[in-house]
Amino acid sequence: MDVDQAGPAELDALRAAFDVDLREPPLGWDAVRAFETEHAIVLPEPYRTFVAEICDGAAQGPPDYGLLPLAAVPGDWRDLDQRVLARPFPLTQPWLWEDDPRPAEKIQAAIEQVYDHGTIVLGTDGCAMYWHLVVTGPHRGHVWNICGEGAQPFGAEFGFTTGHSGFAGWVGHWATGKWWWDAE
């Protein structure tokens, strides 16, 4: 997974994965750079090139309810004023907060950081299951599933799936028709 440079094969696979008629227009490089400047981040590749040159969201998945545009969040999202993309995403391994023995107020504060720091929301599979792309922190470039019970990274090296890590791996896994957690 190269988060600094998009390969031509990755970009071709991303173009092929999304129906042209269901894509939103790409943002263009000026808009992507403006977003990055506004939030003091640099988007990881190949997602960065994808939204600049291929499409900024799509009516089809992944995830189930479509790929959100770069600056969007699902309609049922929490308070947007709390989100700080430049703050590092706090996790590097799965966390099932339902089983966390710490006091509830400490768990809630940590959960808020997971939802609000260092990620953009790619979309939802419904039932409060959101897919995030990490834009800052040690897991920059990885896709995470964050839901009511906990959070886990997507990629074969983390278990649960045979898919490759990163945005292109996540999309590619979906495009082959595989279930997200096909290694369980």
| 46 domain residue, yes or no | yes
Q: Note down the domain range covering 169.
A: 8-175
138 found inside a domain: yes
Over residues 15-61, the pLDDT tens digits come to 999 999 999 999 999 999 999 999 999 999 999 999 999 999 999 98
At 79 the pLDDT is: 63
What pLDDT was estimated at residue 74? 82
Provide the pLDDT for residue 76.
Answer: 74
Residue 181 counted as domain residue: no
State the pTM of this model.
Answer: 0.95
Q: Count up the domains in the chain and report the number.
A: 1
> Which residue is it, tokens 């997507």?
154
User: DSSP label at 84?
Assistant: B
Q: Is residue 3 part of a domain?
A: no
Spans of the chain below 70 pLDDT: 78-81, 184
Q: Could you tell me if residue 183 is inside a domain?
A: no
pLDDT value at position 78? 67
Q: Which residues of 149-164 are buried (b: 16+ CB within 10 A; e: fewer)?
A: ebbbbbbeebebbebb
